[in-house]
């Protein structure tokens, strides 16, 4: 999902018509009419968001928009998953009011909306770096799906109509997992080479087929299904800059080939029981040959250029990084052909 899909909400006017509930002995209960389901942020335009700050407890993250991407600033400057950014924006912009609760600041602690002292704080910034709005997210109300929230610069607390989707302050949750990218059905072949041997899976007919099976032997469908299932999910634990792990060697290589001729390559390393991956996109030699390009025609050339553009964007985002991954993924990549035969 790219940044243009950030434009997901219409600007709406908030008209409150419900019950005000005052908490503590310092305020008396009073009721007013309020329209249930109105948005908490009137006129909020996600398209204008160029910066996001999230904080809870001792953990905080800052994101800045760069072209069509959002960058996790600070230590990483990592191009994060836009899907996750869109979830934050949508989660906050979708907050609807069930009730006005209290405007007495003395009640904030009881409702968990005191600010950065334990509450979840989310701020949005425009292109010039000015704060558009900030929200303080408090406790859930027992027996009710909603939670308490207030605008950061106001004292009035509201009860939301629904629960808030998770908003993480852990950088690992924003690491891109599009390795290999796209849909599973886009891929026609997986080739694996490691220190124990090699294997190749043909995916073109919908059922994975092990290539070069010796005569009088058969592929083990269960083992192949299990390996394929593992390799099609990329479990990332952390990210590191390549320069910080320059001494790693990468004896294992997997090539995921797509229908458009692009190959997404993942190379694996191991050190002290930890497993690491680096990745790059290349064009299959046959698809990129002048003969193949000349035979493709105008539509084929256009498709080839789109594939090259996707490769360039992928390499731009992933080339500087090394991904720390789960051992189970690395073990699947250590299989040899004999492990996939009956």
pLDDT in tens, 193-247: 999 999 999 999 888 999 999 999 999 999 999 999 999 888 899 999 999 999 9
Q: Do both 195 and 317 map to the same domain?
A: yes
The helix/strand/coil state of 153 is coil
Q: Do both 18 and 125 map to the same domain?
A: yes
8 A C-beta contact, residue 325 and residue 234: yes
Per-residue pLDDT at 19 exceeds 80: no
- How many folded domains does the chain comprise? 2
Q: Do both 165 and 204 map to the same domain?
A: no
Q: Do both 126 and 227 map to the same domain?
A: no
What is the predicted pLDDT for the residue at 222? 96
Query: Where does residue 236 rank: exposed (0-12), middle (13-18), buried (19+ CB within 10 A)?
Result: middle
Which of 145, 174, 203 represents a domain boundary (last residue)? 174
Average pLDDT in the chain: 85
Per-residue pLDDT at 342 exceeds 70: yes
Tens-digit pLDDT profile for residues 124-167: 999 999 999 999 999 999 999 999 999 999 999 999 999 999 99
Nearest to 295 by CA among 342, 261, 254, 250: 261
Bridge-based pairing of strands 38-39 and 321-325 is: unpaired
Residues 264 and 180: their CA atoms lie apart, in Å, by 6
Residues 264 and 188: their CA atoms lie apart, in Å, by 12
Q: Do both 258 and 193 map to the same domain?
A: yes
Per-residue pLDDT at 28 exceeds 60: no
What is the predicted pLDDT for the residue at 316? 92
Which residues span the domain enclosing 125? Answer: 3-174
The helix/strand/coil state of 204 is coil
Q: Do both 268 and 158 map to the same domain?
A: no
Q: Do both 167 and 35 map to the same domain?
A: yes
Which of 154, 174, 194 represents a domain boundary (last residue)? 174
Q: What is the pTM of this model?
A: 0.78
Which of 174, 198, 232 represents a domain boundary (last residue)? 174
Q: Which residues contact 32 (CB under 8 A, 6 or more apart)?
A: 16, 17, 18, 19, 20, 100
Tens-digit pLDDT profile for residues 250-264: 999 999 999 999 999
Residues 313 and 319: their CA atoms lie apart, in Å, by 10
Q: Do both 62 and 142 map to the same domain?
A: yes
Q: Do both 327 and 230 map to the same domain?
A: yes
């Amino acid at each position: 999902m790219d940044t243009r899909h950030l434009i997901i909400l219409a600007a709406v006017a908030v008209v409150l018509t419900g019950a005000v509930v005052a908490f503590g002995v310092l305020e008396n209960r009073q009721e007013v009419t309020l329209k249930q389901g109105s948005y908490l942020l009137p006129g909020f335009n996600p398209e204008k968001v160029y910066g996001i700050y999230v904080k809870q407890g001792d953990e905080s993250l800052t994101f800045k928009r760069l072209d069509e991407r959002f960058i996790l600033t600070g230590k990483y400057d990592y191009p994060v998953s836009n899907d996750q950014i869109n979830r934050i924006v949508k989660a906050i912009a979708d907050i609807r009011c069930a009730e006005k609760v209290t405007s007495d600041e003395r009640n904030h602690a009881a409702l968990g909306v005191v600010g950065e002292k334990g509450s979840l704080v989310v701020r949005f910034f425009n292109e010039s770096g000015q704060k558009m709005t900030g929200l303080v997210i408090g406790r859930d109300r027992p027996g009710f799906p909603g939670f308490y929230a207030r605008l950061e610069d106001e004292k009035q607390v509201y009860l939301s109509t629904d629960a808030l989707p998770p908003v993480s302050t852990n950088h690992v949750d924003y690491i891109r997992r599009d390795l290999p990218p796209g849909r599973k059905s886009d891929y026609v072949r997986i080739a694996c080479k490691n220190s124990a041997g090699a294997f190749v899976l043909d995916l073109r007919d919908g059922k994975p087929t092990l290539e070069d099976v010796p005569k009088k032997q058969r592929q083990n469908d269960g083992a192949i299904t299990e390996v394929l299932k593992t390799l099609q999910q990329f479990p990332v634990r952390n990210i590191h800059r390549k320069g910080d792990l320059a001494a790693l060697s990468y004896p294992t290589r997997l090539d995921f080939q797509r229908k458009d001729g692009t190959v997404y390559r993942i190379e694996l390393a191991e050190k002290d029981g930890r497993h690491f991956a680096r990745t790059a996109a290349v064009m299959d030699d046959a698809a990129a040959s002048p003969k193949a390009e000349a035979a493709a025609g105008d539509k084929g050339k256009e498709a080839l250029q789109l594939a090259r553009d996707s490769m360039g964007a992928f390499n731009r985002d992933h080339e500087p990084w090394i991904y720390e991954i789960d051992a189970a993924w690395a073990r699947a990549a250590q299989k040899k052909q004999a492990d996939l035969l009956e």
